[in-house]
Amino acid sequence: MAYGLARVGNRRVVRRPYFFEIFIVANFAVIVWLTLGFNPVVLRTIPDTFQTLIPSMAVYAVAGVAIRAVVAAVRRELPVYLRLLRSAGWIVDTIRVVIATALMAHTYFWIKLLVPLLHPRNFDQLLWDLDQKMFLGYSPNILFLDLFSPAPVLRFIDWSYARIFFASMTIAFVYFLSAPSRRVRTGFVTGTAVLWLIAAWLYLLIPSLGPAYRFPDVWMPLADSFQVTQTMQATLMRNYQNVLQWPTGVARDIQIMFGIAAFPSLHVGFQAFAFLWMRRLWVYGEIVFGVFLLIILIGSVVTGWHYLIDGFAGGLLAVGGYLFGSRLWRIREWRRLRKAIQR
C-alpha cells in the first residue's frame, strides 16, 4: 500500500493517514452519531480519556525504549538504535500511534458501556445452550468448575485472572510501541484496532452479561474462593445499573471502563492475538503468551466471566486481526528472521 513518504534529510515522515487511524475515527464517528440523540457524552468525555490514556501509552513506549536501549547496548548496537529514536519518522509515528490507541480505547469503552441502552436484549440463555450443545449436554462452565474444584486452585485462578490480563496488556504494548520497525508497530496497532472495535460491535449485536450474572446460583456458593472476581463483578454491575438509569434522567456516576459484555471474549482474544504476533518475533514472548492464553481461557469459564463460546469467538477475531494487520504491512522482519534461523 502506498502511503506517500516525504524525506526530511535521511528521515521519512508518513503524511497520509494510516489505515488504523481511518478505521478508528470512522468507528468513533458511528458511536457519536448513535448517541447524539440522547446524550452527547461520548464527545464531552474525550479530554478525560485522553488525559488518562495518552500518558499511560507514552509511559509504555518510554519503558520499552529503555529496555531495548539496554539490550542494544549489550549487543553494541546502541548508536544505531539511538539514531532511529531521534528520527522524525519514528517520533511522529509514536505520537500518532499513542493518540490513535487512546481514541480506539475511548470508542471501545463507550460502545461496550452503552450496549444495554442501544440494544436492550439479552442472549445469555442462547450462549449457555450453545455451550451445552458443543459439549453434548454438559455446560462447560459447570464442567470446568468441577475439574478445578479444589479450593486452592480456584483461589489461584481468582487471584491470577485479572493480574495476568493487565500484565499481558502492559507487556504487549511496551514491546510493540517501542519496536524499531514501522511495519511491526503499525501492523500490530492495525490488528489491535480491528480486534477490539469489531468485538465492541459484536457486543452490541449479541448483548450478553456472562454466566456469573445470568446464572448466579452457580457461583454464589463459591464466594470464598472468588473474592477478587466477585468484588469486581459487583462493581461492574453497579455501574451497569447506573447506565440503565440514564433514560429516566437520574444522574449517577459512570466509569466508562466498566461496561459489561460477554460475547466475544477479549480476555481470551487479546492473549491469542499477542501470542500470534510473538510467535513470529520473540520466542520468549511466545512462551509467555501461550501460558497466558491457556490460563485466561480456563479462568474466563471457571470464574463465570464468559461462556466457552465467547473464548472461541475471541480467538477467531484474534486470528482475523492478526492476519489483517500483518498481511496489510507485509512484515519483512519475519522473512529475515526465518532466514537467520535456517543458517
Out of 70-84, 100-114, 273-287, least confident range: 70-84
Higher pLDDT, 15 or 139: 139
3-state secondary structure (DSSP) of residue 209: coil
Across 32-54, b (16+ Cβ under 10 Å) vs e yields bebbeeeeebbeeebeebbeebb
Please, which pLDDT band fits residue 251 given cuts at 50, 70 and 90?
low
Q: Residue 247: what pLDDT? A: 74
State the pLDDT at residue 16.
86
Of the two residues 137 and 333, the one the predictor is more confident about is: 137
User: In Å, how far are 91, 94, 104, 120, 196 from 98, measured between CA atoms?
Assistant: 11, 6, 10, 33, 16
**Separation of alpha carbons 297 and 65, rounded Å:** 31
Mean pLDDT of the chain: 88
Q: How many domains would you assign to the chain?
A: 1
CA neighbor of 270 nearest in space, from 105, 97, 23: 105
- Asked whether the predicted pLDDT for residue 9 surpasses 80, the reply is no
Give pairs for 225-229: CB < 8 Å, separation 24+: 225/151, 225/154, 225/155, 225/158, 226/154, 226/158, 226/303, 226/304, 227/158, 228/158, 228/159, 228/161, 228/162, 229/158, 229/161, 229/162, 229/303, 229/304, 229/305
Nine-digit cell at 227? 473474592
Judge contact between 178 and 71, C-beta under 8 A: no
Q: Which of 35-44, 93-102, 155-164, 231-240 is least confident? A: 35-44
Percent share of the chain, pLDDT over 90: 71
Query: Could you list the residue range(s) of the whole structural domain that residue 287 is in?
Result: 5-342
Say if CB 43 and CB 32 are below 8 A apart. yes
What average pLDDT does range 206-229 have in this prediction? 94
Dihedral angle over CA of 186, 6, 61, 323, nearest 10? 10
Report the pLDDT value the prediction gives residue 343, as an integer from 0 to 100. 38
pLDDT in tens, 296-335: 999 999 999 999 999 999 999 999 999 999 887 676 555 5
Q: Is the pLDDT of residue 8 over 50?
A: no
315 closest CA partner among 270, 281, 279: 270
Is 70 exceeded by the pLDDT of residue 6? no
Average confidence (pLDDT) over 203-227: 94
pLDDT value at residue 253 = 82
The Cβ of residue 127 has, within 10 Å, a number of other Cβ atoms equal to 24
| DSSP per-residue string spanning 243-296 | HHTGGGT------TT-----SS-HHHHHHHHHHHHHHHH-HHHHHHHHHHHHHH
Q: How far apart are CA 82 and CA 59, in angstroms?
A: 18
Contacts of 289 (CB under 8 A, 6+ apart): 168, 172, 271, 274, 275, 278
pLDDT of residue 340: 45
CB 303 within 8 A of CB 156: no
pTM summary value: 0.89
Average pLDDT over every residue of 7-20: 64
Poorest-pLDDT segment among 35-39, 147-151, 204-208, 310-314: 35-39
* pLDDT score, position 280: 85
